[in-house]
Structure 1
Amino acid sequence: MLCIETIAVENRQFKNLKYHEVRLNKTRNELWGYRDQWDLSAMIVIPDSVTHDLHKCRLAYGFEIDAVKWEPYSLRTINKIRLVYDDSVEYSYKYDQRPGLNQLFEQRKDADEILIIKQGMVTDSFYYNVAFFDGKKWLTPDTPLLPGTQRAFYLIQELLKRLL
């Protein structure tokens, strides 16, 4: 069983790296009992092939780093979202394989994305944490399946508020 971190890289710099390290080290401790703390900036070298454009670094890991893949980041266009309901879906850790989420995503029919409802609460979409704008402030559900790193950054910067 492997977990992943997908880290944005722009201008050949990692974005939100400390948030990824916190999640990765928490995952390693809780799933496998590892107590050491990985410093990803010392472990991953950005290759020369990565330009200043936005890229993503996909790090697969378990006991050690299994693979590191690099690719240009492409934004997804979302025109239609379908609500899907599942009271038992779990995604507390960012696993490499996610069959439960894949099954929910298959229910999207003609939509581009899904919005997952668990026990009557909005959680996440398939790819992203979600945020809603009420005309004055941005709000995010207090019930994400997996708290994202960008979400954590926005919450700490108070650019995003928890929707209780």
Structure 2
Amino acid sequence: MSRTLCFETICCENRELKNLSYHEARLNRTRHELWGYSDYWNLSERIVIPDSVDNALYKYRLSYNKEIEAIKWEPYTPRTIQKIRRVYHDTIDYRYKYEDRNELNTLFAQRKDADEILIIRNGLVTDSFYCNVAFYNGNDWFTPRSPLLPGTQRAFLLDSGVIREADIRESDLREYSKVKLFNAMVGWEDAVELGIESIA
């Protein structure tokens, strides 16, 4: 399977790029660890916001390896999520934000009547298809310590003290009352929040 490209999805609102330093750090770490490149990309110097992008919410997608291979700007519309289906894969590896999402697509196809999936790996809760997740125990929000992909919004929320890390086993889900789904395009305040019973 070819994994020659990775990508970053960056939120742009009011013509401002969100959490850019987190995306920059992940991109440069990925380029170094996957391909051995030591040059550092300053994204604020490389990304030019076109005049066609107004103050609405836009998704900027950058595909890259040694160089930038493709960029795309598009208006963003949040997804509607009401039901989540647990799916299982003990060897899935998505530690880098690969363009190749075939394994994830296969899991997403198992969602049946649900809108989203919750991926369980070796008994541990990881991520959904599109988002990192956090769970509320009545006092605090906890995010899995071992996600498939440590997201930029997740890193920002951890640094801000909004969420904390924990090992969350599938059997632990009953101890939580709510689940929240968030990613680079969906900030904490706008994230989908559901009762734990929404996870089938």
Q: Which residue of 1 aligns with 2:163?
A: 160
Structure 2 counterpart SS, 1:131: strand
Correspondence list, 1:19-98, <5 A: 19-98=22-101
Amino acid corresponding to residue 21 of structure 1 in structure 2 = E
TM-score by length of 2: 0.81
Amino acid corresponding to residue 29 of structure 1 in structure 2 = H
Answer with 127-136 or 114-123: which moved more. Answer: 127-136
Question: Is it true that 1:151 corresponds to 2:162 in the alignment?
Answer: no
Q: Which residue of 2 aligns with 1:126?
A: 129
- Note the C-alpha offset of 1:38: 0.3
TM-score by length of 1: 0.98
Q: Which residue of 2 aligns with 1:117?
A: 120
- Note the C-alpha offset of 1:132: 1.0
Structure 2 counterpart SS, 1:36: coil
Q: Which residue of 2 aligns with 1:108?
A: 111
Q: Which residue of 1 aligns with 2:5?
A: 2
- Note the C-alpha offset of 1:42: 0.2
- Note the C-alpha offset of 1:74: 1.1
Structure 1 counterpart SS, 2:52: coil
Structure 1 counterpart SS, 2:38: coil
Query: What RMSD over aligned residues (CA atoms) do the two structures have, in Å?
Result: 0.7
1:73-121 per-position Cα deviation (integer Å, ceiling 9, x unaligned): 1111101100001101110110112111111111111110000000000
In 1, Cα distance between equivalents of 2:135 and 2:13:
26
Q: Which residue of 2 aligns with 1:18?
A: 21
The total of aligned residue pairs comes to 164
Amino acid corresponding to residue 161 of structure 2 in structure 1 = E
Gaps of 5+ in 2: 168-200
Counterpart of 2:144 (choices 134, 141, 144) is: 141
Amino acid corresponding to residue 150 of structure 1 in structure 2 = Q
Moved over 3 A (4+): none
In 2, Cα distance between equivalents of 1:162 and 1:92:
17
Structure 1 counterpart SS, 2:55: coil
Structure 2 counterpart SS, 1:130: strand
- Note the C-alpha offset of 1:135: 2.1
